[in-house]
């Protein structure tokens, strides 16, 4: 049965290829493109995909940022100041913008004489023990980069699928336009014959009116088909950046891929992989939340040097005496920090993330269910199209013979115009059914490939 379907579809496409060059719309075409070439062009042109690529690069840079976030902190300060040094001893709150000395005045009487001071400091700090926080942050950054990459692949996959549908829709529209053009020529021939017969008095004058009405109707159908084709081409140009591409298809249906019914070994579908990566990213956030609220052990070390124009013997010297370093100190130590309310914060944060993980899991199941349903529907459409392809050659052959017989009978005055119009309509319907069925066959295979994760393989085999 499959071999017969292939022969039938091959004859059909051969017939359509003979018709297609008669279509004036093809005269606008300038670029010959295969399906894979159109997909490649979309990857380079479509701003949506370029945006996703930029976000992937940003997410990958975030991995490096997460690694560098745990480098030791080393602060260097150099300060030169001029002002009074009169204060009193006592506690104070460290209000922003107000700095106090913790020591009191060195004289009994207020002294507002300006003094100079010079101070330099160096302080370094390193998280000696972070209880896995560093690895959790890096893993979370990697998970986010993986999600960004999966989002890019999902959008690419959807664009490929959309271009594939447009590819076959444009082919169908062009072939249908060629059939409409042939139908238009038949009605023009009918009008010519009718005018000759009515002019000679063989047929009533109403036949010419009916013929003109039929010709006008076919012209309207042709114009509408031309507009539909142009809209499809505009949509393809929007996705690929190529105006009026010439697209062609191998007439041998047997050259299309035979997709496996068992999808156990099929590649992971990017549409499902996105939700799997989303769930993974939420899980990494949960691990990061657990590690973020653990204690931190810090190793700190520093040193500083200071000079002042006030001497140790309570002598206020000149301003220049305070510009050099006079005293040097150092300090090193270990510290541990922990917020006693971290347990509450961790519980609240994990409750939020747990809901996100569950939602991502349900979204993954929903997508898998949709893909399974799409695969079954595509397989059913393929089965119906294959069955119809066995019948359609006979229908087209019979309709063609019937039209030619009716045309000869009408010219001989044996039948009326209505019989000839009915025969023409049957031929038009048979040709259109051929186009529609082959398009259904290709589109169903495309949908099956997309549902099973074999879309790239399908695109590469469409020549």
Q: Does residue 413 sit in the same domain as residue 304?
A: no
Instruction: Report the pLDDT value the prediction gives residue 256, as an integer from 0 to 100.
Output: 44
Q: Does residue 41 sit in the same domain as residue 109?
A: no
Q: Does residue 448 sit in the same domain as residue 381?
A: yes
Q: Is residue 287 part of a domain?
A: no
Q: Is residue 157 part of a domain?
A: yes
Domain boundary among 337, 367, 401: 337
Q: Is residue 154 part of a domain?
A: yes
Q: Is residue 118 part of a domain?
A: yes
Q: Are 248 and 196 in contact (CB under 8 A)?
A: no
Instruction: Report the pLDDT value the prediction gives residue 199, as an integer from 0 to 100.
Output: 63
Instruction: Report the pLDDT value the prediction gives residue 144, as an integer from 0 to 100.
Output: 93
Q: Is residue 292 part of a domain?
A: no
Q: What SS3 class is residue 275? A: helix
The average pLDDT across 107-130 equals 82
Q: Does residue 49 sit in the same domain as residue 99?
A: no
The average pLDDT across 137-147 equals 93
CA distance readout (Å), 8 to 13, 133, 252: 9, 65, 10
Asked if the model's pLDDT at residue 121 lies above 90, the reply is no
Q: Is residue 211 part of a domain?
A: yes
C-alpha span between 275 and 281 (Å, rounded)? 10
Q: Within 10 Å of residue 253's Cβ, how many Cβ atoms?
A: 22
Asked if the model's pLDDT at residue 202 lies above 70, the reply is no
Give residue-wise pLDDT tens across range 212-246.
888 898 899 999 999 999 999 889 989 988 877 77
Q: Does residue 314 sit in the same domain as residue 257?
A: no
Proportion of the chain above pLDDT 70, given as a percent: 82
Q: Does residue 261 sit in the same domain as residue 407?
A: yes
Residue indicated by tokens 């939340």:
289
Give residue-wise pLDDT tens across range 36-88.
888 999 999 999 999 999 999 999 999 998 888 888 888 888 888 887 776 77
Q: Does residue 95 sit in the same domain as residue 177?
A: no
Instruction: Report the pLDDT value the prediction gives residue 249, as an integer from 0 to 100.
Output: 60
In DSSP terms, which residues pair with 81 in a beta bridge? 117
Q: Are 349 and 289 in contact (CB under 8 A)?
A: yes
Q: Within 10 Å of residue 377's Cβ, how many Cβ atoms?
A: 14
Q: How many structural domains is the chain composed of?
A: 2
Q: Does residue 86 sit in the same domain as residue 54?
A: no
Instruction: Report the pLDDT value the prediction gives residue 85, as an integer from 0 to 100.
Output: 75
Q: Does residue 176 sit in the same domain as residue 310?
A: no
20-29 contacts: CB < 8 A, separation 24 or more? 20/174, 20/175, 20/178, 22/178, 22/181, 22/182, 23/174, 23/177, 23/178, 23/181, 24/181, 25/174, 25/177, 25/226, 25/229, 25/230, 26/174, 26/246, 28/244, 29/244, 29/245, 29/246
Please spell the DSSP secondary structure of 199-257, one letter per residue.
HTTSS-THHHHHHHHHHHHHHHHHHHHHHHHHHHHHHHHHHHS-SSEEE---S-GGGS-
Write down the pTM of the prediction.
0.78
Q: Is residue 107 part of a domain?
A: yes
CATH of the domain at 9: 1.20.1600.10
Q: Does residue 429 sit in the same domain as residue 453?
A: yes
Residue indicated by tokens 């009326």:
416
Q: Does residue 141 sit in the same domain as residue 204?
A: yes
Give residue-wise pLDDT tens across range 399-427.
999 999 988 988 887 888 888 889 999 99
Give residue-wise pLDDT tens across range 312-368.
777 787 878 778 888 888 888 888 888 888 889 889 989 999 999 999 999 999 999
Asked if the model's pLDDT at residue 166 lies above 50, the reply is yes
Question: What rounded mean pLDDT belongs to the chain?
Answer: 82
Q: Does residue 433 sit in the same domain as residue 302?
A: no
Q: Is residue 289 part of a domain?
A: no
Residue 318 belongs to domain spanning? 75-127+297-337
């Amino acid at each position: 049965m499959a071999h017969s379907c292939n022969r039938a579809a091959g004859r059909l496409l051969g017939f359509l290829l003979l018709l297609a060059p008669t279509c004036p719309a093809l005269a606008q075409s300038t670029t010959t493109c295969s399906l894979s070439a159109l997909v490649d062009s979309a990857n380079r042109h479509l701003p949506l995909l370029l945006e996703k690529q930029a976000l992937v690069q940003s997410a990958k840079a975030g991995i490096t940022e997460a690694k560098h976030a745990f480098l030791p902190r080393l602060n260097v300060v150099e300060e030169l100041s001029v002002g009074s040094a009169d204060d009193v001893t006592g506690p104070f709150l460290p209000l922003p913008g107000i700095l106090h000395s913790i020591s009191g005045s060195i004289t009994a009487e207020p002294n507002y004489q300006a003094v100079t001071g010079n101070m330099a400091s160096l302080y370094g700090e390193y998280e000696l023990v972070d209880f896995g926080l560093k690895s959790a942050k890096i893993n979370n950054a990697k998970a986010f980069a993986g999600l960004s990459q999966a989002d890019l692949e999902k959008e690419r996959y959807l664009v490929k699928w959309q271009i594939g549908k447009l590819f076959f829709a444009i082919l169908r529209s062009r072939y249908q336009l060629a059939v409409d053009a042939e139908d238009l020529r038949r009605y023009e021939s009918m009008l010519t014959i009718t005018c000759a017969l009515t002019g000679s008095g063989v047929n009533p004058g109403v036949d010419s009116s009916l013929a003109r009405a039929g010709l006008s109707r076919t012209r309207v159908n042709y114009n509408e088909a031309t507009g539909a084709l142009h809209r499809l081409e505009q949509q393809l140009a929007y996705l690929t950046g190529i105006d009026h591409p010439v697209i062609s298809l191998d007439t041998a249906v047997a050259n299309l891929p035979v997709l496996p019914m068992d999808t156990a070994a099929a590649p992971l579908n990017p549409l499902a992989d996105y939700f799997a990566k989303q769930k993974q990213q939420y899980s990494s956030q949960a691990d990061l939340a657990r590690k973020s609220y653990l204690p931190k052990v810090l190793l700190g070390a520093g040193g500083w040097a200071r000079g002042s124009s006030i001497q140790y013997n309570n002598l206020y010297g000149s301003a220049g005496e305070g510009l050099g370093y006079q005293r040097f100190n150092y300090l090193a130590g270990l510290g541990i920090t922990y917020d006693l309310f971290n347990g509450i914060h961790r519980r609240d944060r994990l409750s939020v993330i747990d809901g996100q993980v569950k939602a991502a899991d349900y979204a993954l199941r929903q997508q898998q269910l949709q893909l399974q349903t799409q695969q079954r529907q595509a397989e059913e459409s393929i089965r119906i199209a294959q069955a119809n392809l066995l019948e359609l050659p006979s229908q087209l052959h019979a309709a063609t013979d019937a039209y030619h017989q009716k045309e000869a009978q009408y010219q001989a005055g044996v039948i009326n115009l209505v019989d000839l119009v009915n025969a023409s309509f049957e031929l038009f319907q048979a040709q259109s059914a051929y186009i529609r069925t082959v398009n259904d066959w290709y589109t169903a295979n495309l949908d099956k490939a997309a549902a099973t994760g074999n879309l790239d393989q399908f695109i590469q085999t469409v020549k």
